[in-house]
Amino acid sequence: MVERGSDLLDGRVVVITGGGAGIGRATAELFARNGATLVVADVDEEANQATAAAVADLGAQSLAVTVDVSREVDIERMIVATEAEFGRVDVLFNNAGIMLADDADAVSAEDDAIDKTFDVNIKGVLYGCKYGIPALRRAGGGSIINTASFVASVGAATPQIAYTASKGAVLSMTRELAVIHARENIRVNALSPGPLRTELLMSYLDTDEKKQRRLVHVPMGRFGEAAEMAQSALFLASDMSSYMTGANLQVDGGLTAAYVTPE
């Protein structure tokens, strides 16, 4: 674990969507301990403000921006506010995402669940890059991290077709963006968590049967923690991954290693 006082992100301005809870909250706090200036964005204003306060308590400069990532105008406002407050964007963590209880298989899924999931999980990342990439250019380059999922590589044991399709799209976008912008000193990588013990997943896996159906596929036999994803995001945000772009960092307790056959 990286200890408080490290300077891996010293002087860098980091924007994190979905910063109010889960991976976003854990990442904001870890990045603050590593010298970053934080802009936390979330649709939940109260949770977002709580993260910004926690970051400030750690001695980092912070700004909270209430954002619905499915709204292009909100994403544009987030980037404008960041540059107005701190002068630059060095790291963009497109982390916001949803997993809806009424997501289902292809036969049963309703348009409302599909549309909401795609709007947040796909458009949210696309809009982030649409406005974040020009800001990174103005800063001379930087790192984009897109939160995908293990289900972008393997099928989910519990039917969730909209979520799975959305995370596959995130992974595909990440690869294309990485290739297009590699010569601009802009790195774009995906972080693919395995099943995590976060409120988002636990509210979806709302029975012991559903939880065990997931865990039986995880070689480590446990859910991951948001703090473990934050450590991985720190690697992708920092110069430790300076020769890494277009990659899918799978942090999943060995799940995809057990089920994916190399091409």
Return the active site residues.
163
CA dist 54 and 25 (Å) reads 9
CA distance 23 to 21: 6
CA 33 vs CA 55, 59, 166, 171: distances in Å: 8, 8, 32, 29
Closest CA to 19 of 85, 75, 87, 93: 93
Helix axis angle, 22-33 to 226-237, nearest 10°: 50
Q: CA 191 to CA 209: how far, in whole Å?
A: 27
How far apart are alpha carbons 161 and 104 in whole angstroms? Answer: 6
One-letter amino acid at 112 equals D
Backbone angles phi, psi at 210, to 5 degrees: -65, -40
Cα–Cα distance measured from residue 190 to residue 173, given in angstroms and rounded to the nearest whole number: 9
18 vs 44: CA distance, rounded Å: 9
Q: Name the 3-class secondary structure at 132.
A: helix
